[in-house]
A and B are shown apart, each in its own frame.
Chain A
Amino acid sequence: MNVARITLRIAAVVLILFIIIGPLVGIVLWSFAHRWYWPNPIPQEFGLRYWQMVFRQGRILDSLLLSLTIAVIVVGLSLLFAIPAAYGFARYRIPMERVLLVLFLMPQAFPQLPVFINLASIFNRIGLGGNMWGIIFAHTMASLVYSVWIVTATFRSIPMELEQVARNLGASRLKTFFTITLPLAVPGIIASAIFVFLWSLGEFTAAFFIGAPFIQTATVLMYTASMGYNMQIASVIAILLIIPSILFMIIIERYLKAEYLAGMGG
């Protein structure tokens, strides 16, 4: 290999790292910056002041907790609906199956702003505005595309014979579902749960229009903080929001891959 090619390769790696990690570095720097004025490349004064502020101010922790609560409930509701629905799509002939599946895509198929402003005006009329359950409802609806689609694909990938053997050996439909189908679908279900969880955690538009100003999720608070030129608070919240994503990334990397292959390979 000649020098030119090595140089080119290194340059490519650096560029990729810059694109991926660059914005994150900015956030981390901002979160520790007491003073950072243009055109300085790094902050003039470092410190933990804003981190302390976030953990001292109940408001910020509350909104983080609110975001987490919403995300967990959304995952639960989304799966509660998606698992039976997906099993139906995967195993039974359902009239207009395609149309129904595309229907779940609808909330995500159009620009988020008009969709959620519309939803917010409806929710305000029926008393779901400014309310945690309004956001949960909106998130659940919009996340169904992830959960239903992924879990349907998972169920479809499980050969019918694996269920038929169980029936043949004396298991009822329900018993077969809980002892064979569901355990085999766990990797796919976890994958869809992670998708829904992260999407709900990072969702801004619905949380803003339905919740604000009465309740503020972490993303909404982050937005308000950065609008008030408080980049430090916004950065701290951003880092706190990234933590669950990274944790889940590790879980996927560590556990899901092998399990997935074992489950799907049979």
Chain B
Amino acid sequence: MAILETRNLKKYYGRVRALDDVSIDVDAGELLAVIGPSGSGKTTFLRSIAGFVKLDAGHVYIEGKDITELPPEKRDVSMFFQNYALWPHMTVFDNVAYGLKLRKMPKEEIEKRVHDVLKLLDIEELVDRKPSQLSGGQQQRVALARAIVVKPKVLLLDEPLSNLDAKIRLRIRFEIKALQQKLNLPTVYVTHDQEEALSIADKVAVMHEGKVLQLGTPEEVYKSPVNFFVADFIGTNCVLTLKVLDGRVKIGNKIFEVSSKETARMVVRSDEAEVLEARAEPGKDGLRIPGEIKGKLYMGSKYRYEIRIEESEDALFVNSGESFKIGEKITVFVPDGSYFVY
């Protein structure tokens, strides 16, 4: 059974649609990643579950109970704020214990639970510090500890890694995933980083202009995007604008039927494309586009090539371990399933 259910959520700010008929469920222990560019409504979605956004329409249920009209303090969901929002006038202990004190727990029980959660997050030694004495990573853990110590029914994470260094971010990604599985907490994880979302989530919702464009497993969203926006937003891509003739597009060795009238767009997963010698025959099925090397960047383990093709004004950017000369004629090979035409 889904712990968290949202039904037809709508929120308009004037003419801007922050939430436009959003319905998503999160099951027990499931991690839902909500991704989209800024202004797509993903944070509004999160805040409406926490009760900080008054919905124009729709309902939020937790364990089957309608909480749409409840104030934030009665919802039993914990929200992690992007900027951590630690209280500067309290120690780490008081920050973490705040929610427990409100629940009128006995003192020993509070101390035990705060101690346990700090141990779980490996920050026991910080218990008496003030937030201003902590590093960014430590603050992030304290904020996380404060959110989970109250054992909420649902955990809401708003860009939890965006204020951390790129190096720490990768490690913490694993830790958050492990922690979430250990606590078996239904979690909504908002991020603008599609790679982060794919790697951590059980289920991904791609949002744009207040709408959920696609909801599915990371594999589904990556391998079968429903439209151009999703295809382009997920993954590392090149977009080619192609001419349409009689409802058809011809590129390389393939011809596609399209519905668009004058131009069509092709999304190419550039991570999966390869640069081959002009006459090479790849062993697999796929799209082969003849082209010419226009630019070359040395990237250490590989080269990054800018490639001109006949069919489009747009350049393809593809990495390859092999060295080609500028001006050399080559073939770009894209395996089936790694390009999409809309």
Contact A180 B85 (CB under 8 A): no
Contact A184 B85 (CB under 8 A): no
**Chain B residue at minimum C-beta to C-beta distance from A259:** B89
Q: Does A169 contact B (CB under 8 A)?
A: yes
Contact A169 B50 (CB under 8 A): no
**Chain A residue at minimum C-beta to C-beta distance from B130:** A262
Binds A, one of B72-80, B118-126, B319-327: B72-80
Contact A159 B146 (CB under 8 A): no
B86-101 Cβ-contact flags toward A at 8 Å (1 or 0): 1111000000001100
Chain B 256-274 residues near chain A, CB threshold 8 A: none
A164-B52, A262-B89 provided; 10 other pairs, C-beta below 8 A?
A: A164-B79, A164-B85, A166-B98, A169-B78, A169-B99, A169-B102, A170-B99, A170-B102, A179-B98, A263-B88
Q: Does A168 contact B (CB under 8 A)?
A: yes
Q: Does A250 contact B (CB under 8 A)?
A: no
Tell me the bound Cα distance from A161 to B102 in angstroms.
18
Contact among B72, B131, B150 for A167, CB-based, below 8 A: B72
Contact B102 A175 (CB under 8 A): yes
Contact B79 A168 (CB under 8 A): yes
Kindly list chain B residues whose C-beta atoms are within 8 Å of the C-beta of A52. none
Residues of B within 8 A of A (CB): 50-52, 71-75, 77-79, 81, 83, 85-89, 98-99, 102-103, 130-132, 146, 150
Kindly list chain B residues whose C-beta atoms are within 8 Å of the C-beta of A164. 50, 52, 72, 79, 81, 85
Q: Does A165 contact B (CB under 8 A)?
A: yes
Contact B73 A170 (CB under 8 A): yes
Q: Does A40 contact B (CB under 8 A)?
A: no
**Chain B residue at minimum C-beta to C-beta distance from A159:** B85
Residue from B86, B102, B146 having most chain A Cβ neighbours under 10 A: B102
Q: Does A266 contact B (CB under 8 A)?
A: yes
The 3 tightest CB contacts between A and B, nearest first, are A266-B88, A169-B99, A161-B85
Contact A169 B150 (CB under 8 A): yes
Kindly list chain A residues whose C-beta atoms are within 8 Å of the C-beta of B83. 159, 161
Kindly list chain A residues whose C-beta atoms are within 8 Å of the C-beta of B89. 183-184, 262-263
Contact among B75, B81, B132 for A266, CB-based, below 8 A: B132
Residue from A166, A172, A266 having most chain B Cβ neighbours under 10 A: A266
Kindly list chain A residues whose C-beta atoms are within 8 Å of the C-beta of B78. 168-169
Kindly list chain B residues whose C-beta atoms are within 8 Å of the C-beta of A262. 88-89, 130, 132
Q: Does A13 contact B (CB under 8 A)?
A: no
Kindly list chain A residues whose C-beta atoms are within 8 Å of the C-beta of B99. 169-170
Tell me the bound Cα distance from A196 to B234 in angstroms.
59
Contact B73 A167 (CB under 8 A): yes
Contact A265 B72 (CB under 8 A): no
Tell me the bound Cα distance from A122 to B308 in angstroms.
87
Contact B81 A265 (CB under 8 A): no
Residue from A169, A172, A184 having most chain B Cβ neighbours under 10 A: A169
A157-198 Cβ-contact flags toward B at 8 Å (1 or 0): 001011011111111100100011001100000000000000
**Chain A residue at minimum C-beta to C-beta distance from B99:** A169
Kindly list chain A residues whose C-beta atoms are within 8 Å of the C-beta of B88. 184, 262-263, 265-266
Kindly list chain B residues whose C-beta atoms are within 8 Å of the C-beta of A170. 73-74, 99, 102-103, 150
Chain A 199-219 residues near chain B, CB threshold 8 A: none
Tell me the bound Cα distance from A263 to B130 in angstroms.
11
Contact among A167, A184, A263, A265 for B71, CB-based, below 8 A: A167
Contact A180 B150 (CB under 8 A): no
Tell me the bound Cα distance from A164 to B85 in angstroms.
9
